[in-house]
Structure 1
Amino acid sequence: MTTALAPLAEPWSPAEFEVRLREVAGERYHDRHPFNLRMHSGDLTPAELRRWIANRFHYQRHIPVKDALITAKLDTPALRRMWLRRIQDHDGPAEGEGGIERWLRLGEAAGLDRERLLAADDVLPGVRLAVDGYVNFCRLRPSLEAVAASLTELSAPDLMRTRIDAFERHYRWIEADGLTYFRTRVSQGRRDSREALDLVLEWARTRDDQERAVAALRFKCDVLWSLLDAVEAASSREENP
């Protein structure tokens, strides 16, 4: 007896697919994490904020690494040129420039030693695992999923604006020049998310492709949430040794 195969699900329309991606970014992005809520309310101690800066730097310095892995998957010069710009945004066109340098200056403005940041001695195990997981995801998964995972940038510009306001309002002990990274990422995040979204909408033609793209974005949200879980847990241990 022959068993009939279940019919394949119809792909979502481009508009519905985009809505589903934006819903993931809107509902699962780490701006809702308790640690970020405390940060934006001005409730972090200097020690907690410095711990976050140091551990988030471990993520920041791996952004060009994961983007290099994505670039290697792209099959046209135009796409590679577009994605290579992301690497330059973070590594900088020259020594002393770029997003990683700006994050180091944020650390210095908060009273952290540059060499200690670079040594990564203060990075928490949970943060290392989260960052390694994301880098390996971009190494091992197809280009559609690796690019879709970057769509947390859909929510990044609003978060950057909220963060700038919070730092200026509540953490005035941090020198104003240290906020340059956040200011730069408002426009960069808007541009990058639009480019990545266009690619994902173009590449995901089947329902299976679309669902894998949505799952990739969920995974990236989990990475960012897990990073903050580790930082929050360290703060709790400090308060309750």
Structure 2
Amino acid sequence: MTGERYHDRHPFNVRMHRGELTTAELRRWIAARFHYQRHIPVKDALILAKLDRPEQRRAWLRRIRDHDGTAEGEGGIERWLRLGEAAGLTRGELWDGSRVPPGVRFAVDGYVTFCRLRPALEAVAASLTELSAPDLMRTRIAAFERHYPWIDPAGLDYFRTRVTQGARDGEEALALVLSWARTREQQERAVSALAFKCEVLWALLDAVDRSGP
């Protein structure tokens, strides 16, 4: 069931990859998704606080650096801002959240709260959607280059970077989950956490899809 609800199958994403989105729809998605992107380091900091081994914390800390960068002008959030600019949005519009539908805020808040309140096993298991990220990013790059040539190709650097980062992050998270989930009950909790994350990403797209013409 989790695979059937992975967000690459959402009608909005299907239309995106077929080249069927209008300029307004694509900009709305970029702005809404930025709200999610800017909260990734927040949820990762919450997970970091749950890890009790130095090697685990070092690995997870890298995720925060990947998104926030180690200096101004670096990191995944910066690359997403450049995507927005390439699509005709300003940084101010992205940061102020004026284009973010309420449903997107609700979905993102739910995910951050989940990572704050749930044990490390479930919080990490929820991130296993990253296992599918490399293929999705390759599909997205090809779709943008083919169907949305009005977007500067340099704006696609976020997607290109996540091909390798997503593969690495997914494998590391999976190794942690497999080492922790030894009982049937723990395994079921891990699967439920992953299903919850799929629902978060699906709900986010629902909100984007329904918030405009």
Q: What secondary structure is seen at the aligned counterpart in 2 of 1:155?
A: helix
Q: Which runs of 5+ in 1 are unaligned?
A: 1-22
- In the alignment, what sits opposite 2:61? 84
1:51-200 alignment to 2 at 5 Å? 51-200=28-177
Displacement of 1:121 in angstroms is 1.2
CA distance in 1, matches of 2:210, 2:132: 25
Normalised by the length of structure 1, the TM-score is 0.87
Coordinate RMSD, CA, aligned: 0.7
Displacement of 1:231 in angstroms is 0.5
- In the alignment, what sits opposite 2:189? 212
Displacement of 1:116 in angstroms is 1.2
Q: Which runs of 5+ in 2 are unaligned?
A: none
CA distance in 2, matches of 1:85, 1:167: 28
**Which residue identity does 1:33 align to in structure 2?**
H
CA distance in 1, matches of 2:102, 2:86: 25
How many residues are paired up?
213
Normalised by the length of structure 2, the TM-score is 0.99
CA distance in 1, matches of 2:87, 2:125: 33
Q: Select which of 191, 199, 203 maps to 1:222.
A: 199
Runs of 4 or more off by more than 6 Å in structure 1?
A: none
Q: Deviations over 1:60-97 (max 9, x none)?
A: 00000000000000001110000000000000011110
Displacement of 1:234 in angstroms is 1.4
**Which residue identity does 1:93 align to in structure 2?**
T
CA distance in 2, matches of 1:98, 1:132: 22
Larger Rg: 1
